């Protein structure tokens, strides 16, 4: 009987981890690399960064709910879920890269905080192809959430046909019309207005066609300088784990007190 109870505890803990843990998910084309082409090493850690790209993207993926925009294909990355308290500081770096030009083919990328309870996304930034002015926030797209600070605050495109292997066969290409290039690394800081469980979401999408890829590099995802992905179990997981360990301890003490036949 005791073996059965212990097995039940172990099974409950295992199911609890599976149910509460929320691992990172990629739809489309995501990856990790170091300095490559116009994208220099990330300004943190060993210089590696993650990316999403429309090259090899999936139909209907990576777009925002924006009316009047023909969003075709793209990629989406959702981070591990993590807990945050009001006043905590979120930080990461991003670099928008595009081989598509302006006009009818203004691709874009974005990042958002997604509450795991199903609440609305908190848009941290949007970046969009444009030959002049700032790429962030992208024209015709949501603005920066309250509490977001960019460094540098000015985000013009560094023009040219960007060479970056994440763009696939479009690396080194530029569709006519201006707007091709990259932003360089931009720091993003955000102070949480509300505590809770969240995931970070990064998306990139083609607009008007599926040619001339765009991508987004991102790195250094931290809350209060602690890395997000794969570091701290969620509170629900910790609670279930401690409860299970407490039950196991109680059973062990009971066994010690049980009289021998």
pLDDT in tens, 97-130: 999 987 778 999 999 999 999 899 999 999 998 9
State the pLDDT at residue 5: 40
More confident: 112 or 240:
112
CA distances from 14 to 47, 177, 228, 236, 246 (A): 35, 55, 22, 13, 15
CB of 204 within 8 A of CB of 138? no
pLDDT in tens, 12-27: 433 333 333 468 999 9
pLDDT in tens, 159-177: 999 999 999 999 999 997 7
* Residue 38 clears pLDDT 90, i.e. is over it: yes
Mean pLDDT score across all residues of the chain: 84
């Amino acid at each position: 009987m005791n073996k059965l109870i212990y097995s039940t505890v172990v099974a409950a803990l295992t199911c609890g981890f599976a149910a509460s843990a929320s691992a990172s998910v990629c739809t489309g084309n995501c990856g990790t690399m170091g300095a490559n082409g116009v994208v220099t090493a990330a300004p943190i850690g060993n210089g590696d960064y993650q990316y999403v790209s429309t090259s090899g993207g999936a139909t209907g993926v990576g777009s925002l709910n924006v009316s009047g925009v023909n969003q075709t294909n793209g990629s989406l990355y959702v981070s591990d879920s993590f807990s945050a308290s009001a006043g905590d500081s979120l930080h990461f770096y991003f670099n928008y890269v595009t081989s598509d030009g302006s006009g009818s083919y203004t691709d874009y990328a974005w990042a958002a905080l997604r509450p795991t309870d199903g609440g609305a996304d908190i848009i941290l930034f949007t970046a969009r192809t444009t030959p002049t002015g700032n790429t962030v926030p992208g024209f015709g797209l949501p603005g920066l959430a309250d509490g977001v600070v960019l460094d540098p605050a000015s985000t013009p495109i560094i023009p040219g046909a960007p060479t970056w292997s994440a763009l696939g066969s479009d690396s080194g290409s530029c569709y006519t019309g201006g707007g091709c290039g990259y932003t360089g690394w931009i720091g993003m800081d955000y102070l949480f207005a509300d505590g809770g469980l969240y995931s970070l979401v990064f998306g990139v999408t083609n607009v008007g066609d599926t040619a001339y890829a765009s991508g987004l590099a991102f790195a250094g995802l931290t809350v209060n300088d602690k890395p997000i992905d794969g570091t701290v179990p969620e509170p629900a997981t910790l609670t279930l784990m401690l409860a299970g360990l407490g039950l196991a301890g109680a059973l062990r003490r009971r066994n010690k007190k049980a009289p021998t036949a």
